[in-house]
Amino acid sequence: MKYYIIAGEASGDLHGASLMQQLIKIDKNAEFRFWGGELMLRFSKNIVKHYREMAYMGFIDVLKNISKIKQNLSLCKKDIITYKPDTVIFIDYPGFNLRIAEFVKEQNIYTIYYISPKIWAWKKNRAFKIKKYIDKMFVIFPFEKEFYQQFDYQVEYMGNPNIDIVNKKKKEKVGRQIFLTGNNIATNKPIIAMLAGSRKQEIKRILPHMLAVTKKFPDYNFVIAGLSSLDYTNIFCNSQYNNVTLIYDQTYQLLMHSQAALVTSGTATLETALFFVPQLVCYKTEYFFFWLAKYFVKIKFISLVNILLQREAIKEIIQTNITSRMTAELSNILNDENYRTKMLLDYKILQDILGDKNSVYRTAENIYHQLSKL
């Protein structure tokens, strides 16, 4: 089979790579062409465009890059026609992917969505487009099945792929001493991870606040989980901070050796929980978009941990007084053992909610069998 996969950001690259790996096991003749990143490149060199060239965040950033977005849409459509895939698989990234899905459906190509956009939080009306243009939808949260049922649209929940990915990485754990010395991290202090996001816009907004927090905790090593696809030089300089280190493309190894984590809202909150690292979650955006979200976003929480548990298991620090509020919450996490223990117990409940393992393999198997029937 010929698979065309579109992932527009770092998390999509991760899940796209996992899916490609499992499809190769099931379909010995699998061929790929994709939009993604370094992780997907491990399984195919047939990349169209790297996600760093298309990861725009927020209303203003989209407006600034509208011409590039239009060029990418045009390029994608032409490329699909040339490649003639058996299916196009969309991974999250709805602003771009739903436009392409409409075009792909017109070409009578089978459409699959792997990892639903979070339309249950924002722009629920997109469900009508999904129902119209997507032949098969795989969701990764149990409550999403019920959400789509209100639109009379049946979706598949095979489990959450983050469980498989995290369990695999835990088996690959590098020893603490090797990890520290290999990254020039001081060995005499506990580690606090800093996951500031995967897009340059959110990193510019959040990382300075995280760095300000580090000055209040000199007895800890703070380690920034960097991505090699992004440039941090205008935000962070090693010489300015005695207890902060920037490392690249080792987020999971970092979490396995961390005592706590400062996390920007997103998939990273769930991943941190699956590694059983106590965390606080922070988020900041343009004030116009924040004001808009207050009226249109229909969920109580921004972190996946709290959304899945339907209560505040981890503290969410949003938009204002971020530095001082993060400092206070990190102090609670580090110094109150009962507080930490309760959070870890909530993580266990979360893991039980997400359910079975091997979800990526079962999703790939389902995709291959479905395409074989066409």
**Length, in residues, of the chain:** 374
Residue-level pLDDT at 299:
67
Give the model's pLDDT for residue 240: 79
Confidence band of 122 (pLDDT split at 50, 70, 90) = confident
What pLDDT is stored for residue 209 in this prediction? 94
On the question of pLDDT at 85 being above 60, the answer is yes
Residue 274 contacts residue 162 (beta carbons within 8 Å): yes
- Assigned superfamily of 2-159+356-372: Glycogen Phosphorylase B; (3.40.50.2000)
Q: Domain spans of the chain?
A: 2-159+356-372, 165-354
Do the first three CATH levels of 2-159+356-372 and 165-354 match, i.e. the same topology?
A: yes
Inter-axis angle of helices 10-26 and 161-171, to 10 degrees? 80
**Cβ-contact 279, 272 below 8 angstroms:** yes
Whether the predicted pLDDT of 84 surpasses 90? yes
Return all residues near 256 (Cβ < 8 A) that are at least 6 apart.
169, 170, 173, 275
Q: For residue 313, which of 259, 253, 353 has the smallest C-alpha distance?
A: 353
279 or 231: which carries more pLDDT confidence?
A: 279
Tens digit of each residue's pLDDT (9 = 90 or more) over 131-190:
999 999 999 999 999 999 999 999 999 999 999 989 989 999 999 999 999 998 887 899
The pLDDT tens digits for 285-339 are 655 455 445 545 566 888 999 999 999 999 999 878 999 999 999 999 999 999 9
Residue 349: its pLDDT value, please? 96
Looking at residue 53, its pLDDT comes to: 81
Alpha carbon 172 to its chain's center: 21
| Position 16 pLDDT exceeds 90 | yes
Measured distance CA(260)–CA(363) in Å, rounded: 33
Residues 165-354, CATH architecture: 3-Layer(aba) Sandwich (3.40)
Sheet order of strands, 191-195 included: 244-248, 221-226, 191-195, 260-264, 279-283, 316-318
Amino acid 293: pLDDT: 53
Which residue type, as a one-letter code, is found at position 156? E
